[in-house]
Amino acid sequence: MKTKLIYLMSIIFSLAIYNCDEADGGSSQSPPDASTFISIEDLRNSLKPDPHVQTVDPSGNFTVEGPDGTTISCIGNSILDSSGNTVSDDVIISLYEFNTLDEMILAKAPTTSNGNLLVSGGSFEVTAENATTGEELEFNPWSCSCLLNIQTNPSTTHQNQMVLFDGNTNNLDNNGQQVVDWNMVTQGEFSVADGVFQAWGIDIGFSNCDVLYEMAGENGTQFEATVTGVTDYSSNVEVWLIIDDFPSVVMLTTVNSTPALETYAGSIPTGLNGTLVGIHIDDDSYLNFGVLPITVAGDDSFNIDVDYGTEAELVALVESLVN
């Protein structure tokens, strides 16, 4: 909490200095200390972490382990081409790990399923490519499994209930860009032991170990959020909610008539505590961002003040909010 307050005070202090310089007539002559991006998509491409890459011989059993401990294991002849044929060429496996909430935000991997909140234990994305032809490949069903170290500190009850979810990227956010949503895998084998989640039958693409948040006895509500300086919420702006009460991050993707970005109706527990993160690429291509701690009372309207900053400062801020 102290770290959150330090970053909030730093942003306010920086904004005050900038405004004072404006009043003195000194700042208008020089560009702001901020990163520049053509679009929010350009920022997203820069923020996404590099994968762990490994070349394997698919004719035999193989294991790929990421630096944070996520492990993908496949039996021999488990890689298929687009026609369903077994691949014999070497295969390049790329593994992206999103084990903590900050990594999920930076990778644009929110933890919601069809508008419902998920309590997250972590997620990953895996791709397979023919090393000779460059063709995108698939896993043969029930040929690959995963091990994932749960690093989000869920409650014991939530952790023991976690199951496998597959990521669906056939969704668009408010900027018209792809965003992952999650579908529970209803047929599969899952286990959690000593903070390690194991699942059999994973697919290429996004996977996570989560559990649906149950609002037993709680009133569901929604809220909207605006970002200072933004009038068009369908271009170059994102708003995220980092939930304090359990490990979950929500991307607000619905533009309402205010205009503002809003959550789904009835999806947010009344009394929920969290922090909103606003990110904006302005008309001059400068990066702006800011945060706002919130407690949801019901049908709230929140506004996030943002200021210029660099990509490195944005990453440090997001990391500080969850660590």
Whichever domain contains 54, its CATH number is 2.60.220.30
Region of residue 231 (left: phi > 0; alpha: psi -120 to 50; beta: else): alpha
Q: Are residues 80 and 224 in the same domain?
A: no
Q: Are residues 183 and 246 in the same domain?
A: no
C-alpha 71/C-alpha 232 separation (Å) is 42
The whole-number pLDDT of residue 2 equals 44
Q: Are residues 197 and 124 in the same domain?
A: yes
Q: Are residues 208 and 167 in the same domain?
A: yes
C-alpha 111/C-alpha 109 separation (Å) is 7
Quote the domain boundaries for residue 255. Answer: 2-45+215-322
Residues 43 and 281 sit within 8 Å (Cβ to Cβ): yes
237 — phi, psi (to 5°)? -145, 140
Q: Are residues 161 and 272 in the same domain?
A: no
Q: Are residues 145 and 288 in the same domain?
A: no
Query: CA nearest 238: which of 314, 137, 149, 168?
Result: 314
Residues 177 and 101 sit within 8 Å (Cβ to Cβ): no
The whole-number pLDDT of residue 216 equals 67
C-alpha 291/C-alpha 279 separation (Å) is 9
Query: CA nearest 308: which of 300, 298, 317?
Result: 317
* Of 195, 212, 229, the domain-final residue: 212
Q: Are residues 178 and 309 in the same domain?
A: no
C-alpha 9/C-alpha 174 separation (Å) is 30
DSSP state, residue 180: -
Q: Are residues 134 and 30 in the same domain?
A: no
* Of 177, 212, 247, the domain-final residue: 212
Instruction: Give the burial class of 188: count Cβ atoms within 10 A of its Cβ; 0-12 exposed, 13-18 middle, 19 or more buried.
Output: middle
Q: What's the one-letter identity of residue 212?
A: L
C-alpha 318/C-alpha 203 separation (Å) is 29
* Of 191, 212, 233, the domain-final residue: 212
Q: Are residues 192 and 296 in the same domain?
A: no
The whole-number pLDDT of residue 218 equals 80
Where are the extended beta strands (E) located within 153-247?
163-168, 181-184, 189-193, 196-200, 205-212, 220-221, 223-227, 237-243
60-72 core/surface letters (b: 16 or more CB in 10 A; e: else): eebebebebebbb
Q: Are residues 187 and 65 in the same domain?
A: yes
C-alpha 275/C-alpha 271 separation (Å) is 13
State the total domains in the chain. 2
Per-residue pLDDT of 134-173, as tens digits, reads 999 999 999 999 999 999 999 999 999 999 999 999 999 9
Q: Are residues 73 and 187 in the same domain?
A: yes
Query: CA nearest 254: which of 243, 265, 244?
Result: 265
Low-confidence stretches of the chain (pLDDT < 50) are: 1-3, 5-6, 8-9, 11-13, 15-27
The whole-number pLDDT of residue 29 equals 63
C-alpha 207/C-alpha 184 separation (Å) is 10
Query: CA nearest 305: which of 277, 272, 275?
Result: 277
Q: Are residues 63 and 112 in the same domain?
A: yes
